[in-house]
Amino acid sequence: MRASRVYLALLMLFMLGLVACTPSPAVEGKKTISVTVSILPEKYFVDRIGGEFVSVNVMVVSGADPHTYEPKPAQMAALSDSKIFFRMGVEYEDAWLERITSNNPEMKLVDLSEGIQKLPAPAHEGEVDSGEGLDPHVWTSPTLVRSMAGRIYDELSALDPANEPLFKANLVSFEKDIDALDSDIRTSFENLSNRRFMVFHPGWAYFAKDYNLEEIPIEIGGTEPSASELSSLIDTAKAENIRVIFVQPEFSTQIARYIAKEIGGEVILISNLAENWLENLREVALTFEKTLK
Ligand code: ZN
């Protein structure tokens, strides 16, 4: 039958067309978003939300001081692939911002510390508080990190809407971990007999604020204490029955060791720059629980 032959031919053409129009199976690898962060804990935050869909370039390398950091040429080069720079509001960012943005003008700047009511940075005795010195260590507060996680989720979802459900699930899981951390710390700090602690580099004020502790800094404004400040710190430590001086591995421990010797106490290392932020805060909380009881 002629009609059926025509029909068959049309059908075959139609099917050929279907084959031709079917997209070839995805052979390229997973699409990843490149972002840059300032400090290692931020890498942890972004990894928790973005998972394998995000690759993170960290500016302040392990062991370096984020207040005075100078990015290496290779790091500046790596910036050029980044879609977003998640700032944390630490000082080196301002000093390098112009070079960072001229290196990659397309890159979006997102300051995770934006909108946070910052605490004043510790000031020297008798120094007039100009209101300019603000404490940048906001990432030591689980509550504040919880809201930063939400911002990271918003930004990654805007860049990669197809993976939004996954980012959402990761956010929920991270929030759960933060809530558990927060409630465990609250429970473990309930019966502390001493809520004041002495630390060389004042990097824990936001953590202290969350949990009703008080940080007594030795280093102020990035400088060591004067002789009179040093002797008053020793008096305070003795009066408050402080037996532990906390130091951060990124900073000098000499003065802390001197004070510890004067009060017959010890020096303990804690850092707010460890990459595994969650595990690190658990360890730090445990150290506080043991030493402030
Ligand atoms: Zn610091």
pTM of the model: 0.87
Determine the 3-state secondary structure of 105 from DSSP.
coil
CA separation for the pair 165, 154 (Å, rounded) = 12
Q: Compute the distance from residue 1 Cα to the ligand 1 centre, in Å.
A: 87
Helices (H), the chain: 2-21, 40-50, 73-79, 91-103, 142-159, 164-188, 205-210, 227-239, 254-263, 277-291
Q: Compute the distance from residue 66 Cα to the ligand 1 centre, in Å.
A: 7
Q: Above 70 in pLDDT, residue 70? A: yes
| Pair type for strands 108-111 and 84-87 | parallel
- Alpha-carbon torsion angle 166, 279, 281, 181, nearest 10: 60
Assess whether the region 29-123+134-185 and the region 190-291 belong to the same CATH fold.
yes
Q: Compute the distance from residue 131 Cα to the ligand 1 centre, in Å.
A: 18
Q: Compute the distance from residue 224 Cα to the ligand 1 centre, in Å.
A: 14
Q: Compute the distance from residue 212 Cα to the ligand 1 centre, in Å.
A: 20
Q: Compute the distance from residue 203 Cα to the ligand 1 centre, in Å.
A: 5
Query: Domain residue spans in the chain?
Result: 29-123+134-185, 190-291
Q: Compute the distance from residue 116 Cα to the ligand 1 centre, in Å.
A: 17
Cβ atoms 193, 292 nearer than 8 A? yes
The pLDDT assigned to 43 comes to: 98
The pLDDT assigned to 14 comes to: 53
Q: Which residue has the higher pLDDT, 288 or 2?
A: 288
**What mean pLDDT is predicted for residues 81-87?**
96
Q: Which amino acid, residue 256? A: A
Q: Compute the distance from residue 137 Cα to the ligand 1 centre, in Å.
A: 6
**What CATH topology corresponds to 190-291?**
Rossmann fold (3.40.50)
Neighbours of ion ligand 1 (CB under 5 A): 203
Which of 24-28, 44-48, 272-276 shows the lowest mean pLDDT across its residues? 24-28
Q: Compute the distance from residue 98 Cα to the ligand 1 centre, in Å.
A: 22
CATH number of 29-123+134-185: 3.40.50.1980
Q: Compute the distance from residue 204 Cα to the ligand 1 centre, in Å.
A: 8
Tens digit of each residue's pLDDT (9 = 90 or more) over 139-163: 999 999 999 999 999 999 999 999 9
The pLDDT assigned to 126 comes to: 62
Q: Compute the distance from residue 250 Cα to the ligand 1 centre, in Å.
A: 9
Q: Compute the distance from residue 272 Cα to the ligand 1 centre, in Å.
A: 8
Q: Which residue has the higher pLDDT, 1 or 69?
A: 69
Place of tokens 């279907």: 18
Q: Compute the distance from residue 38 Cα to the ligand 1 centre, in Å.
A: 13
CA separation for the pair 75, 229 (Å, rounded) = 39
